[in-house]
């Protein structure tokens, strides 16, 4: 084996990175909620919800030692809430409550509704698989919840990547610091694709039989396993510091000047 899975959730490096995510998420939840109570800006609340989902999901990964938890019903739902909360918050941050769809519904409000609906659908559709896992040796991992996650997170990724670029280049409302959120969206999307390939049909990583003809395929799968934790950690950190450093939507941490 070329790689010895240094970034699998079983390794010391991966455990340290997961704890970085947990600490960042906990700290940001606290200060985002404080900022929301002071300013009543919806995007601070939505980003706090995204960080709460991040804390829950990455805590499950840390406890189970596997990214296979992303394939569970509620966990798959939380994997929608993380980028969904970021995307909905961006829509509120950029368009506020004034810009409306059909002159009635704010862009952010419509998107929040979509995130809630998708969270419920994925969680409910995945629930029978989890019940089978409790009462039988194996679970029948349906492709439907995974497909819904991939499709909706594709939309989330487009919003997260595109809006900061749009507001920086086109409208000039934000600085280049907003690109941190776009980078986070790219990293989280790549990590999501990797996990979908690795855990599409099983709570354990996809394993190819040893065959010299499958060397490149084995190398690709092993590389995905090795890099997933780095990519997902990087995505969360980029989200966090994109929220913190861009002046248009930043929040305050007492005693720290981010100018």
Residue 51 lies in a domain: yes
**178 lies in a domain?**
yes
Number of domains into which the chain is organized: 1
73-82 per-position pLDDT tens digit: 677 788 889 9
Residue 53 has pLDDT above 60, yes or no: yes
For position 237, what pLDDT does the model report?
93
Classify residue 231: in a domain, yes or no: yes
Average confidence score pLDDT of the chain = 80
At 4 the pLDDT is 38
Q: Would residue 98 count as lying in a domain?
A: yes
Question: CATH no. for residue 215?
Answer: 1.20.1070
> For residue 131, is pLDDT > 70?
no
Residue labelled with tokens 């940001």: 28
Q: Is residue 3 part of a domain?
A: no
- Reported confidence tier of residue 206, pLDDT bands at 50, 70, 90: low
More confident residue, 258 or 2: 258
Task: Give the number of other CB atoms < 10 A from CB of residue 164.
Answer: 30
Q: What is the pLDDT of residues 21-34, one digit of tens each?
A: 999 999 999 999 99
> Residues 146-180: pLDDT tens digits?
778 888 889 999 999 999 999 999 888 989 999 99
Question: Which among 139-143, 185-189, 193-197, 215-219 has the top mean pLDDT?
Answer: 185-189
Question: Whole domain around residue 122: which residue ranges?
Answer: 12-245
d(CA 70, CA 228): 12
In a domain, 173, yes or no: yes
Question: Within a domain: residue 214?
Answer: yes
């Amino acid at each position: 084996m070329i790689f010895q899975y240094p970034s699998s959730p079983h390794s010391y490096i991966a455990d340290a990175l997961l704890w970085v995510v947990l600490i960042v998420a906990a700290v940001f939840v606290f200060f985002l909620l404080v900022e929301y109570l002071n300013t009543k800006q919806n995007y601070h609340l939505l980003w706090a919800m995204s960080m709460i989902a991040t804390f829950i999901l990455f805590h499950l990964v840390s406890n189970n030692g596997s990214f296979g938890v992303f394939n569970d019903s509620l966990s798959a739902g939380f994997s929608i809430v993380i980028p969904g909360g970021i995307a909905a918050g961006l829509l509120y941050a950029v368009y506020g409550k004034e810009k409306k769809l059909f002159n009635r519904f704010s862009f952010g409000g419509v998107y929040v509704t979509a995130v809630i609906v998708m969270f419920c659908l994925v969680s409910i559709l995945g629930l029978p698989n989890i019940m089978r896992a409790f009462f039988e040796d194996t679970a029948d991992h349906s492709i439907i919840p995974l497909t819904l996650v991939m499709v909706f997170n594709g939309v989330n990724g487009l919003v997260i990547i595109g809006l900061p670029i749009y507001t920086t280049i086109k409208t000039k409302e934000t600085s280049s610091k907003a690109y941190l959120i776009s980078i986070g969206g790219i990293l989280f999307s790549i990590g999501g694709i990797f996990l979908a390939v690795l855990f599409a049909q099983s709570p354990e990583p996809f394993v190819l039989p040893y065959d010299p003809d499958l060397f490149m395929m084995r190398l690709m799968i092993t590389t995905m396993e090795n890099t997933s934790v780095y990519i997902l950690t990087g995505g969360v950190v980029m989200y966090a510091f994109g929220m913190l450093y861009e002046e248009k939507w930043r929040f305050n941490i007492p005693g720290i000047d981010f100018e």
